[in-house]
């Protein structure tokens, strides 16, 4: 069961990636569907299992992030998890008075422009690759401190929606900073493992003004994952 849960994490791993609607597949087998709504100042992400996975270990998770539109700094983050037998509902709020991120009675000191996985994805859909390339951003990951960056690789055509779409190709790096103890006691598999230090995260962002995230891939624990946009 442990190995299966790790496997499921990989299936979910890149469902966080994107606006629009996506199919997530492992070795070309569909395993999940994702919907991500990216409004100014808000990212709403939903994922649900499909196919055989839905019978073996169903999940239906949602993540909501509100951010400052000037610097993409986190203002509120809520998640609602229904993943197998595991359920969880948590909310973090930014306290402008003392620059802390508050979860119940837990306070984490942060800076005003702190990022998250989701605000980084909002950035890559809005800002130019020239600005983002190699730039490190401070990242909070459920009360743990990381730094993250996009590394631009090249411009390539990606086959999606039955056509070739010109995209900027990035790698997303996430590195944990030194902390003795941080984070929540237990979390969902996606949030626990998306920051796994040996994972390779790649993103292809549409080159024209739409700047949709067209494709993502990951190789984690030896499993190849791929997310492809399915709606215009």
126-137 residue pLDDT tens:
999 999 999 999
**DSSP three-state, residue 17:** coil
CB of 85 closer than 8 Å to CB of 113: no
d(CA 114, CA 116): 7
- What lies within 8 Å, CB to CB, of 52 at 6+ separation is none
Confidence band, pLDDT 50/70/90 cuts, at residue 38: confident
- What lies within 8 Å, CB to CB, of 210 at 6+ separation is none
Max Cα-Cα span within the chain:
51
CB of 62 closer than 8 Å to CB of 79: yes
Name the residue ranges covered by the structural domains of the chain. Answer: 2-229
The backbone torsions φ and ψ at residue 120, rounded to the nearest 5 degrees and listed phi first, read -65, -40
CB of 91 closer than 8 Å to CB of 104: no
Average pLDDT in the 135-147 region?
95
pLDDT at 5: 46
Average pLDDT in the 152-162 region?
96
CA 107 to chain CA centroid, Å, is 23
**DSSP three-state, residue 4:** helix
CB of 195 closer than 8 Å to CB of 176: yes
CB of 65 closer than 8 Å to CB of 120: no
What CATH number has the domain spanning 2-229? 2.50.20
Residue (of 64, 8, 65) closest to 31 by Cα position: 8
pLDDT at 118: 94
pLDDT at 56: 83
198-223 residue pLDDT tens:
889 999 999 988 899 999 988 777 77
For 155, which DSSP code? E
Helix (H) or strand (E) holding 229: strand 223-229
pLDDT at 88: 95
pLDDT above 90 covers what percent of the chain? 60
| pTM passes above 0.85 | yes
CB of 61 closer than 8 Å to CB of 190: yes
Average pLDDT in the 92-110 region?
93
Q: Select the highest-mean-pLDDT range: 24-33, 52-61, 116-125, 210-219.
A: 116-125
For residue 93 the two structure tokens come to 């709020």
């Amino acid at each position: 069961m442990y190995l299966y849960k790790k496997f499921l994490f990989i299936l979910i791993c890149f469902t966080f990636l994107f606006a629009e609607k996506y199919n997530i597949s492992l070795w070309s087998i569909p395993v999940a569907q994702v919907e991500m709504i990216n409004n100014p100042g808000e990212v709403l992400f939903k994922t649900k299992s499909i196919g055989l996975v839905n019978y073996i270990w169903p999940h239906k998770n949602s993540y909501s992030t509100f951010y400052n539109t000037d610097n993409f700094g986190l203002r509120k983050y809520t998640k609602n998890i229904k993943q197998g037998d595991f359920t969880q509902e948590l909310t973090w709020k930014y306290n402008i008075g003392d620059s802390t991120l508050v979860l119940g009675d837990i306070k984490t000191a942060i800076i005003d422009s702190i990022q998250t996985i989701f605000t980084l994805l909002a950035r890559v859909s809005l800002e130019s690759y020239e600005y983002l390339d190699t730039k490190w951003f401070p990242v909070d990951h459920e009360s743990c401190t990381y730094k993250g960056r996009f590394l631009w690789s090249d411009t390539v055509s990606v086959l999606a929606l039955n056509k070739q779409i010109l995209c900027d190709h990035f790698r997303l790096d996430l590195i944990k900073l030194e902390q003795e103890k941080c984070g929540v006691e237990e979390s969902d598999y996606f949030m626990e493992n998306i920051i796994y230090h040996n994972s390779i995260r790649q993103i292809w962002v549409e080159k024209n003004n739409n700047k949709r995230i067209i494709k993502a891939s990951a190789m984690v624990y030896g499993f190849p994952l791929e997310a492809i946009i399915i709606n215009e």
